[in-house]
Amino acid sequence: MPELRRDPIIGRWVIIAQERGKRPYDFIIEKDKAKGGFCPLCPGNEKTTPPEVLAYGRPYHDPNGPGWKLRVVPNKYPALIIEGELDKRGEGIYDKMNGIGAHEVIVETPKHHETISTMPLEQLQLVFMAYKDRIIDLARDKRFKYIIVFKNFGKAAGASLEHSHSQLIALPIVPQLIQEELDGCKKYFDYKERCVFCDIIRQERQQNLRVVCENEEFITICPFAPRSPFEMWVMPKRHQSRFVSIDDHQASSLTRHFSLTMKKLNAILPNVPYNFMLHTAPLTDFGLEHFHWHIEIMPKVNTVAGFEWGTGFYINTTPPEESARILRDSNPKQEGE
């Protein structure tokens, strides 16, 4: 059983998931489909994953068979497991609890070589729909406090499979960085009675130095104090604290906007490894005035991350004004053009 452990000094929770040690990295690296190997996420290989929890677009009734447009399956090497009680307990001065949670893989497309920046808009919209559907479903489990949705693209960003996929982890705690973000937003709101993200959007649109692109509902900026070159934040322009509150109009707008954002990144840095993560309010917080959901995109453009991630202290060689200018000026071909 994996364990959640709390650092007694700074309160960071860490998952100790020994089972993942058995993960066949070498197998995957050597035999990935790109190199002629086997891909467990491709159509036809559905039986090699755990049974699916969601599938879109399969025209006939054959769960775990081919024909789907998008598929969600439990991670075969989960960091957390779904069965059991939380069982919080101490060990002297230390705190720990059972590693209860869910760890799922969103197979974004049946096509092995399609990526977020190349897939049709219709397909990308299914990805966002799957995020929403899975969050809503998992939120029914009262043991969970937070759901992280994230994507690792490329080996340098931690992806162990090439086939385009995102991941989702449902947690019995709110992760530290999200809690700090919530606390920071609350502090700002208490002082100004305004959402800090709404203020950021207002100032960025006025200054127009760090805006990458915007449409009627969404805006992408390079943040003022970015951790890496070409870091981007995608935010709804209207205040909204929970991702799952997006309606169909917003989902369609987000799809077009996010596709353009990722096409721009790919035009500047073709196939650059990246991580993106959805920051949304905790499951039990509805309609927070001080928090604003967004997606943070972090390209991996340098290897000098070792020191930074150990210290929380970042050195960035590219000002966000320069990153934004380069991204803004790129004009990748969009669907329908």
CA–CA distance, 265 with 157 (Å, rounded to integer): 15
**Minimum CB distance to a second copy smaller for 17 or for 211:** 17
Token pair belonging to 269: 């840095």
Shortest Å distance, C-beta 273 to a second copy: 7
CA–CA distance, 29 with 41 (Å, rounded to integer): 15
Q: How many residues bind a second copy (CB under 8 A)?
A: 77
**Minimum CB distance to a second copy smaller for 55 or for 80:** 80
Told to check if 87 binds a second copy by CB under 8 A, we report no
**Minimum CB distance to a second copy smaller for 101 or for 110:** 101
- Eight-state DSSP code of residue 52: P
Shortest Å distance, C-beta 10 to a second copy: 5
Neighbours of 13 (CB within 10 A): 18
Shortest Å distance, C-beta 238 to a second copy: 19
- 263 burial (CB, 10 Å; 0-12 / 13-18 / 19+) is buried
Angle, helices 320-329 vs 248-268, to 10°: value is 100
Told to check if 305 binds a second copy by CB under 8 A, we report yes
Chain Cα centroid distance, residue 2: 22
Question: Interaction with a second copy in 140-179: which residues (CB under 8 A)?
Answer: 148, 150, 152, 155-158, 160, 175-178
Shortest Å distance, C-beta 151 to a second copy: 9
CA–CA distance, 281 with 104 (Å, rounded to integer): 20
- Eight-state DSSP code of residue 81: B
Token pair belonging to 150: 């994230």
Choice from 190, 312, 333, 336 touching a second copy (CB under 8 A): 312
Question: Interaction with a second copy in 205-264: which residues (CB under 8 A)?
Answer: 206-207, 223-227
Among candidate residues 301, 309, 323, 299, the one with its CA nearest the CA of residue 151: 299
Stretch 8-37: interaction string toward a second copy, x if CB under 8 A? xxxxxxxxxxx-xx-x--------------
In the chain, the amino acid numbered 179 is: Q
Told to check if 1 binds a second copy by CB under 8 A, we report no
Catalytic residue among 103, 165, 292, 294: 165
**Minimum CB distance to a second copy smaller for 39 or for 278:** 278
Name the one range near a second copy by CB under 8 A: 107-115, 124-132, 202-210, 248-256: 202-210
**Minimum CB distance to a second copy smaller for 78 or for 110:** 78
Question: Interaction with a second copy in 92-111: which residues (CB under 8 A)?
Answer: 92-94
Shortest Å distance, C-beta 174 to a second copy: 10
- Contact (CB, 8 A) for 246 and 254: yes
- 10 burial (CB, 10 Å; 0-12 / 13-18 / 19+) is exposed
Question: Catalytic: 113?
Answer: no
Told to check if 196 binds a second copy by CB under 8 A, we report yes
Token pair belonging to 257: 């906007």
- Eight-state DSSP code of residue 224: S
- Eight-state DSSP code of residue 271: T
Choice from 203, 215, 271, 334 touching a second copy (CB under 8 A): 203
Shortest Å distance, C-beta 37 to a second copy: 19
Partnered with residue 89 across adjacent β-strands are 96
Told to check if 121 binds a second copy by CB under 8 A, we report no
**Minimum CB distance to a second copy smaller for 20 or for 112:** 20
Question: Interaction with a second copy in 57-86: which residues (CB under 8 A)?
Answer: 79
Shortest Å distance, C-beta 232 to a second copy: 12
CA–CA distance, 265 with 232 (Å, rounded to integer): 10
Active site residue ranges: 165
